[in-house]
A = this chain, B = another copy of it.
């Protein structure tokens, strides 16, 4: 009896050790593919994040007078209280026009290799200049923006403090650089998955760990890797099977418009999946509201795999562990308009 018990103990001990080995192995695999969101904003080449510049960037991010209507700010579509976007299939812009694609989250966007669904902006500063000028978004011009900023003495002072070496710091480019500086602070560390990566085994449930293993083994991680679980490379949407026109509208041909290369037709950036549970609806078309459904679409279109319900649920459960701490943002107090501030454009035309 004594021997039997002792044998049982050994067996249990081995099983536990073996289970621990498997657990460590999964973590090691995960650490080789992914990385945690840092707790501090990353360094940006050519854009030192001074407190003055970050604060100015925050003001500009919330500044509706960067739009010609004085209604729309960056935060309108990249709402810091709503997962860094707007919970809309496509955004509503100037004159209530619809944007062409789903607004990506601003959270952790600094970790993407390039910006926009087609990667047409090299960085966040370049990105910031797009919507300000787009006719369907903020519908302004660089000249109008500079005139607006120059009309408010507080902005002039803040640009001087943010770009102390420049003789004429109030520029459209510097507006974008300051916005980039603020956006670089909008990161979401401490997700349960990141705690797991760091060694806290019980940060994930067993279902979530199985979801992680499936995410790697089924091939999701081939495109969705790194700090941001995506945002680095471009792939045809419909790598294996092209999804329906409701999800992949034929009129939006993706990255081919940027590169003029035939093989880039219907090519889009692999979406970053950090905080994915906060960023419905999904895909560049914003056509799918349900995360489970989006995972299933990815299985068939990109992997050629019909994921069963249990697999979809486990992968989705895992994806929900990518939600980090939302950055605290104190609403900035914007300077008052002056007599020389360009007036909002006549709204009667819209």
Contacts and interface: CB of A to CB of B under 8 A. Distances in A.
A96 B98 contact: no
Contacts of A331: 80-81, 328-331
A71 interface: yes
B81 A334 contact: yes
Contacts of A81: 62, 331-334
A142 interface: no
Contacts of A211: none
B336 A98 contact: no
A333 B65 CA distance: 24
A83 B96 CA distance: 25
Given A329-B330, A330-B330, A278 B336 contact: yes
A328 B326 contact: no
A289 interface: yes
Given A62-B81, A347-B96, A87 B337 contact: yes
A87 B81 CA distance: 23
Interface string A58-100: 0000101100011100001001111100111100100110100
A277 interface: yes
Interface of A: 62, 64-65, 69-71, 76, 79-83, 86-89, 92, 95-96, 98, 277-278, 280, 289-290, 326, 328-334, 336-337, 339, 343-344, 347-348, 350
Give 4 closest A-B pairs by Cβ, nearest first. Answer: A96-B96, A329-B331, A96-B350, A81-B334
